[in-house]
């Protein structure tokens, strides 16, 4: 029996059944995690080449903001519905409908394609007005006319990504609902490969942006190569998924009979999720606008390129562990919710929360110790060779925010499984409000160089509030989340992480005295030794404190690693 089709043995006791279930979830997660690891590694190469080509100042922010906005708009317009609402609805349709949900799925695809197509055309036409929302007032001044035009040109090349992002996530969620978890996690590698190729061509054709070029606008040829190359990568990851629909037993046939088919229930649930995303994206728009001001005057400021690049690094354990766990567990949580078994829903969610924290917390703790070395290895090349130290403070400060975001993210899966999308909206209103207020206050109280670190602190503060609030509300709703067991686990985890971080910290101080200004190779070796020392110490202390979640993750990864991954 394959892992994805495996069920918990009904003859097993409660503890054995829960262990089998968690092992099955981890095995499914391991398939997705493997694809995510490869994708993130190729993403690091892309990030390094982007810094080498464009630097970390105004020149880089022009492209980075323009290329990020399509993803933000996709999330605003459809992402929340596709990611959170559709999986439970697809699972219900597959379970309850005579055709295993085929007609429902065909209607969803048809409706989504029509909606995304029309919206994408409108966004391209309104690119100048749209981009003005994400840029600070400095871009309206006469000496920034060329820079503003570059932003608009890039936006027109990149905004078609909204359609491809939407259809990629929709197709991926259809595959997830059919327990085909691998393709969606492996497909983004194609995007990164194309992006890397585009950046290599760019470096050969135009060279790195050094000196005055680091604050200059782009030429039309540069805009064409980077803009269309970025969109081609997003299109490729969608096209790669399409053959897997047929392998999963699904044949797409356009359906336009939308009335009286159950879509109204999906859209009602989606309404609150759309409002949730609107609130979230309003907050993020404020963040991007504040970040754009950090580099608008040139100089040594930190802006959106640094904020988003460091965010990419800290999202690695989130993407590898948390997203994989959440994606694998959501269909199961949805089945428990449909059956009214909220007790099992809470227990399953709590187990996944402990598993995620067992990986995320030690990563967040060791991150400040290796932040400077890691920044030099990834971004200390080409145009950013003299600017890599600007990345280190933001990178170090993102650790606590990652832990808080992990808790919040996983708890929300429980709300979505229970179809409590309105509750999620209210919780996110609080998170977004805290983020906006904290960002405005912290950025106002610092200089241009402190812009990105200030925004990172605002992010951590908002999700600390969100984690506490979402957990408290869900616990009241389901009756229990094994809070006592979670608290005991967190206490033992904190001790294990404190010991491992102390060992890594002492070693970092000793190695730091050997070379004040090493090259990137030495910096990489030093950071790797410090991280390895902390990791090994953590594994030992985890065994001493009987953190079974750690040993389970290690056993699952090593077992899966001995096999050939199947998409």
Smallest CA-to-CA distance from 262 within 371, 152, 105, 413 is with 105
Confidence at residue 563, expressed as pLDDT on a 0 to 100 scale = 43
Answer with the residue of higher pLDDT: 221 or 245.
Answer: 221
Three-state SS string over 163-208 comes to HHHHHHHHHHHHHHHCCCCHHHHHCHHHHHHHHHHHHHHHHHHHCC
Return the biggest CA–CA distance within the chain.
75
Is the per-residue pLDDT at 3 higher than 50? no
- 88 near 327, Cβ under 8 Å? no
Q: 352 is written with which tokens?
A: 């996944």
- 331 near 413, Cβ under 8 Å? no
Confidence at residue 287, expressed as pLDDT on a 0 to 100 scale = 93
Q: What percent of the chain has pLDDT over 90?
A: 45
Q: 227 is written with which tokens?
A: 């803009």
Is the per-residue pLDDT at 439 higher than 90? yes
Confidence at residue 558, expressed as pLDDT on a 0 to 100 scale = 55
Confidence at residue 273, expressed as pLDDT on a 0 to 100 scale = 67
Name the residue with tokens 């399409």. 242
Confidence at residue 255, expressed as pLDDT on a 0 to 100 scale = 80
Smallest CA-to-CA distance from 536 within 499, 489, 566 is with 499
545 DSSP 8-state letter: T
pLDDT tens-place string over residues 282-327: 898 999 999 998 888 877 889 999 999 999 888 887 777 777 777 7
Confidence at residue 90, expressed as pLDDT on a 0 to 100 scale = 67
Q: What is the mean pLDDT of residues 218-237?
A: 95
Q: 289 is written with which tokens?
A: 């606008």
**C-alpha separations of 516 from 206, 402, 505, 509, 519 in Å:** 33, 29, 16, 11, 10
- 173 near 245, Cβ under 8 Å? no
- 35 near 172, Cβ under 8 Å? no
Is the per-residue pLDDT at 564 higher than 50? no
pLDDT tens-place string over residues 58-74: 999 999 999 998 888 87
9: pLDDT confidence band, cut at 50, 70 and 90? very low
- Going 424 to 33 to 375 to 512, the CA torsion angle's sign is positive
Q: 56 is written with which tokens?
A: 């970390």
d(CA 156, CA 160): 8
Helix axes 520-544, 483-512, angle to 10 degrees: 140
Q: 210 is written with which tokens?
A: 């050094």
41: pLDDT confidence band, cut at 50, 70 and 90? confident
447: pLDDT confidence band, cut at 50, 70 and 90? very high
Tell me the whole-structure pTM to 2 decimals: 0.80
Confidence at residue 5, expressed as pLDDT on a 0 to 100 scale = 39
**C-alpha separations of 560 from 29, 33, 194, 556 in Å:** 10, 10, 28, 6
pLDDT tens-place string over residues 354-368: 988 998 999 999 999
257: pLDDT confidence band, cut at 50, 70 and 90? confident
């Amino acid at each position: 029996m394959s892992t994805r089709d495996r069920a918990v043995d009904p003859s097993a006791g409660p503890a054995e059944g829960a262990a089998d279930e968690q092992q099955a979830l981890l095995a499914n997660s391991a398939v997705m995690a493997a694809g995510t690891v490869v994708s993130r590694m190729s993403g690091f190469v892309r990030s390094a080449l982007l810094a080498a080509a464009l630097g970390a100042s105004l020149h880089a922010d022009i492209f980075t903001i323009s290329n990020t906005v399509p993803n933000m708009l996709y999330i605003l317009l459809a992402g929340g519905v596709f990611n959170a609402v559709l999986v439970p609805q697809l699972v219900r349709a597959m379970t309850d409908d005579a055709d295993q949900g085929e007609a429902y799925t065909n209607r969803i695809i048809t409706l989504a394609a029509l909606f995304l197509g029309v919206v994408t055309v409108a966004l391209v036409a309104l690119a100048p007005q749209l981009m003005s929302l994400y840029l600070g007032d400095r871009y309206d001044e006469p000496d920034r006319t060329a820079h503003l035009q570059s932003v608009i040109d890039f936006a027109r090349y990149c905004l078609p990504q909204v359609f491809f992002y939407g259809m990629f996530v929709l197709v991926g969620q259809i595959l997830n609902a059919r327990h085909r978890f691998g393709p969606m996690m492996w497909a983004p590698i194609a995007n990164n490969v194309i992006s890397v190729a585009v950046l290599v061509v760019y470096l050969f054709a135009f060279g790195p942006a050094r000196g005055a070029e680091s604050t200059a606008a782009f030429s039309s040829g540069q805009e064409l190569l980077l803009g269309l190359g970025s969109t081609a990568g997003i299109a490729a990851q969608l096209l790669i998924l399409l053959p897997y629909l047929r392998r999963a037993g699904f044949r797409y046939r356009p359906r336009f009979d939308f009335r009286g088919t159950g879509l109204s229930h999906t859209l009602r649930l989606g309404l609150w999720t759309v409002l949730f995303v609107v609130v979230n994206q309003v907050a993020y728009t404020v963040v991007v606008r504040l970040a754009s001001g950090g580099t608008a005057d040139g100089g040594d400021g930190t802006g959106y390129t640094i904020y988003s690049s460091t965010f990419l690094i800290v999202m690695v354990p989130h993407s590898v562990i948390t997203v994989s766990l959440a994606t694998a567990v959501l269909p199961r949580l949805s089945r428990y919710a449909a059956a009214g078994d909220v007790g099992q829903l809470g227990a399953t969610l709590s187990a996944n929360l402990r598993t995620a924290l067992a990986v995320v917390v030690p990563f967040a703790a060791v991150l400040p110790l290796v932040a400077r070395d890691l920044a030099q290895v990834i971004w200390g090349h080409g145009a950013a060779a003299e600017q890599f130290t600007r990345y280190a403070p933001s990178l170090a400060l993102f650790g606590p925010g990652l832990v808080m975001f992990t808790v919040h993210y996983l708890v929300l899966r429980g709300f979505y499984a229970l179809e409590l999308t309105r509750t999620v909206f209210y919780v996110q209103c609080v998170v977004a409000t805290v983020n906006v207020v904290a960002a405005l206050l912290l950025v106002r109280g610092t200089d241009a160089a402190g812009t990105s670190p200030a925004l990172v602190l605002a992010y951590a503060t908002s999700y600390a509030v969100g984690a506490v609030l979402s957990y408290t509300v869900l616990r009241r709703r389901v009756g229990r989340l094994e809070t006592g067991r979670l608290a005991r686990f967190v206490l033992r985890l904190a001790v294990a992480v404190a010991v491992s971080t102390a060992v890594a910290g002492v070693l970092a101080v000793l190695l730091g005295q050997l070379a004040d200004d090493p090259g990137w190779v030495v910096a990489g070796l030093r950071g790797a030794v410090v991280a390895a020392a902390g990791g090994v110490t953590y594994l030992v202390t985890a065994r001493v404190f009987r953190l079974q979640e750690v040993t389970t993750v290690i056993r699952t990864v090593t077992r899966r690693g001995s096999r050939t991954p199947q998409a």
